[in-house]
Amino acid sequence: MGKNLIAQRRGKGSPTYRVPRRGKQIEISYKGIDGEIVDIINDSGRRAPVAKIKYSDGSYGFLIAPHGVKVGDRTDFVVPLSKVPVGAQIFGIETYPHSGPKLCNAPGSFSILVSKGEKKCIVQLPSKKKKELNPNCMVSLGIPAGEGFGDKPWVKAGKKWIAMHRRGKLYPRTSGVAMNAIDHPFGGSTKPGRPMTISRHAPPGAKVGSWGAKRTGRKKGKK
């Protein structure tokens, strides 16, 4: 009797393939008043480090730390779009006033202010798409800290196993052709070949291979 594929086992909702919830993600927001960085902490829910801010009214808040800041620095990097010079790198962008940082919060990601006017500002996102925003939207100048985190090599397989399972990823992965025929449709070396194309409208558990492919095989030269 055959076994369910990984996609089919995931669809059943087994705890094995669920991402474990580890604590609550720190909420970041702009208060619009001057403050001082009192600590830089790690948030388990995001890659970029978070700066703990003590504002002039005595309250505390959290912001994504820009690259190069340290404890004791002021929050001069938080400004409205209307005060940002054209061509500057910005992150933690509000989509509308008082929405909180929504765009470019990942480490190393930033947008560029292309142009600004009295009623709208045009920002170029990392995807090269341009977005119109209100000049009163708050942003942070610079680039989020933590860039290059993913460039560190995995020296030991055990370290990667722990990291992948913390995020609900399946590791290590085995290719279908390396399995036995009982474990996967592409498995087994003695059985006849099976086409990799599958209908786009097939159920999720049957989508193995090329979904709705127009053609397969190598492209030949023009006739």
pLDDT, tens digit (0-9, with 9 covering 90-100), for 89-120: 999 999 999 999 999 999 999 999 999 988 99
**215: in domain:** no
Answer yes or no: do 83 and 66 share one domain: yes
Note the pLDDT of residue 15: 79
For the residues 9-35, what does the mean pLDDT come to? 78
Q: What is the pTM of this model?
A: 0.69
In the predicted structure, residue 33 carries a pLDDT above the cut 60? yes
Length of the chain: 223
pLDDT, tens digit (0-9, with 9 covering 90-100), for 131-168: 999 999 999 999 999 988 778 899 999 999 988 877 77
C-beta contacts of 47-54 below 8 A and 24+ residues apart: 47/106, 47/107, 47/146, 47/149, 48/105, 48/106, 48/107, 48/144, 48/145, 48/146, 49/145, 49/146, 50/26
Note the pLDDT of residue 197: 86
Answer yes or no: do 99 and 201 share one domain: no
Answer yes or no: do 159 and 127 share one domain: no
**74: in domain:** yes
Answer yes or no: do 47 and 112 share one domain: yes
Which of residues 191 and 150 earns the better pLDDT score?
Answer: 150
Answer yes or no: do 127 and 57 share one domain: yes
Answer yes or no: do 76 and 122 share one domain: yes
Note the pLDDT of residue 122: 95
Answer yes or no: do 102 and 59 share one domain: yes
**20: in domain:** no
Residues spanned by the domain of 157: 151-210
Note the pLDDT of residue 164: 84
Tell me which range, 82-86, 160-164, 171-175, 217-221, is most confidently predicted by mean pLDDT. Answer: 82-86
Distance between CA atoms of residues 27 and 34, nearest Å: 19
Look at residues 102, 125, 149 and tell me which one is the last residue of a structural domain: 149
Give me the half-sphere count of Cα atoms (radius 13 Å) on the Cβ side of residue 8.
13
Report the percentage of the chain scoring pLDDT > 90: 49
Note the pLDDT of residue 16: 76
Cis peptide before 204 (omega within 30 of 0): no
Q: Is 161 exposed, middle or buried (0-12, 13-18, 19+ CB in 10 A)?
A: middle
Task: Indicate the number of domains in the chain.
Answer: 2
Answer yes or no: do 139 and 91 share one domain: yes
For the residues 162-189, what does the mean pLDDT come to? 82
**93: in domain:** yes
Band (202; pLDDT cuts 50, 70, 90):
confident
